[in-house]
Structure 1
């Protein structure tokens, strides 16, 4: 599943196919950070599906995963105000397309790059928390594979960034993505059986070294 590495390098907003990938946001105001979370210094993220319409409208936000329900609510409330660049409807470009978008709420103390924050978070993530996220994902994200869950998705993002920093070849990048994808079922099994461990401890050695 090397395509995951390529996807996280290319974009955070992912369309369903190549033609729909031409959809661009024209206006996207950031959601209000829930005051209680901002005051407490809580960073987080929300992954959602939404519909983009040929006339520029954006609708039907559906949260797939989120680090906090208040963040989910903030994003869902703001999505109807977003706009995409209109397009002409054709056989290749339907009137409505599905987009997947991830928004980060990043506290200033975490810096300005969400991947840097994700990197730190993954290093300290316990298997207990991993197991809780997996349970939530299985309950709320029907139709998605376990490799799509936030922890794995964020690990792919971090691997892509570190691979770029270390100037790895495309072949080396693909090998890292494959190693994580292949190991995902074992990672899930080992974290489930050993909640006292860290997520990083149960990753393949070549992936672990990158974190």
Structure 2
């Protein structure tokens, strides 16, 4: 059984409860090849229970994107009474992970391994795709940086870092984003891990 996880990516997720959410189908060609991946997307949840307008913001493969876009309109949320606190339509940002059994069936450890081996050449290609498809988003919202935050949070918990140390790591990564992009473009043979701030790189 291959693992697929849907993860809410913003605070509005707490105010919407899904009533029906079938997992996106794993594209056969990718599952047969053992390819894992992710999709980041927005959707609209309506007060009458409908779910609509899936919009892919970032994805590791077009077939994963297509699978998500095809299934989201079939989902349902539990209806709610419209009020000032809960509008008729709520926008949600979601992440879906397709993690192959050979990767261990858990998203964050797989992401951790992927980040360790990610080349600057591949990073730059992903950044170009991100800019083309999500030009209205901040650079730090690119999937690679979000995944790095997820891994840092997991490692920080494992190492029992203080809140101050956690915040310092997050700040260091955020501040380094423009330089990381520039250094990877200039040095495609390096790894993404090599151009991160030392305190962040050591955690990967």
TM-score interval, smaller chain: over 0.9
Indicate which of 60, 64, 84 corresponds to 2:57: 64
Contact preservation (8 Å) 2:42, 2:55? yes
Find the aligned partners of 1:191 and 1:20 in 2 and give their Cα distance.
Answer: 34
Match of 2:8 in 1: 13
Per-residue CA distance 1:120-161 (angstroms, 9 max, x = gap): 000000000000000001111021011110100100010011
**Gaps spanning 5+ residues in structure 1: where?**
1-10
Contact preservation (8 Å) 1:56, 1:85? yes
TM-score (norm 1): 0.91
Superposed, 1:97-176 pairs within 5 Å as: 97-176=90-169
Indicate which of 5, 13, 19 corresponds to 1:26: 19
Is 1:49 the counterpart of 2:42? The answer is yes
Is 1:178 the counterpart of 2:178? The answer is no
TM-score (norm 2): 0.94
Find the aligned partners of 1:142 and 1:206 in 2 and give their Cα distance.
Answer: 29
Contact preservation (8 Å) 1:20, 1:93? no
Structure 1 stretches of at least 4 aligned residues deviating more than 4 Å after TM superposition: none
**Gaps spanning 5+ residues in structure 2: where?**
1-5
The CA deviation at 1:20 is 6.2
Match of 2:30 in 1: 37
Distance 1:19 1:129, change over 3 A: closer
Superposed, 1:189-204 pairs within 5 Å as: 189-204=182-197
The CA deviation at 1:113 is 1.3
Find the aligned partners of 2:51 and 2:145 in 1 and give their Cα distance.
Answer: 28
Contact preservation (8 Å) 1:56, 1:83? yes
Identify the range of structure 1 (178-187 vs 19-28) with the bigger mean alpha-carbon deviation: 19-28
Alpha carbon RMSD of aligned pairs, Å? 1.3
Find the aligned partners of 2:156 and 2:20 in 1 and give their Cα distance.
Answer: 32
Contact preservation (8 Å) 2:12, 2:90? no
Find the aligned partners of 2:13 and 2:7 in 1 and give their Cα distance.
Answer: 14
The CA deviation at 1:64 is 0.3
